[in-house]
Amino acid sequence: MNKSKIEDAVDCFAGGFNCSQAVFSTYAAHMGLDRETALKISGAFGGGMARMGDTCGAVTGALMVIGFKYGKSKAEDDAAKEKSYEVAREFVSQFKERHGSIVCRELAGCDLNTSEGRQEFEEKQVGKTVCPHLVGEAVEILERIL
């Protein structure tokens, strides 16, 4: 298990980036993408996609990694499309098995789309307890399936 990638992602999150950015940017250099570009690409996916509480940013970051590694870049490359979908489904299955959901508001226990939910997020320190764990586990799962 490559603990350094897990630590890098958790450190990135603790350093002020969102969960999606933490996961995706950790793999950027390994895939030939500069960190700044990776951070920008994944920037709108935190908090369950723009704080809407939908798909967890750690999950969307991981799905971006999978797409970047296996996704198709030619219209006729259906094998690459199927491979990326297969690996993505495996990732989601393993994440759900561990956490019961991939939905941010369910995982965080609050709705970041409301000011009350954001206040609850801060009061319960979800960003210091729950989210770093989810970021680390997303990278751990990626390391197993890539």
pLDDT, tens digit (0-9, with 9 covering 90-100), for 73-86: 999 999 999 999 99
Residue 59 banded pLDDT, cuts 50, 70, 90? very high
> pTM of the full predicted structure?
0.95
Give how many domains the chain has, as a whole number: 1
Nearest-CA neighbor of 70 among 36, 103, 27? 27
User: Does the structure show a pLDDT above 60 at 97?
Assistant: yes
Q: Which residue range is the domain that position 123 belongs to? A: 3-145
- CB within 8 Å of 14: residues ≥ 6 apart: 132
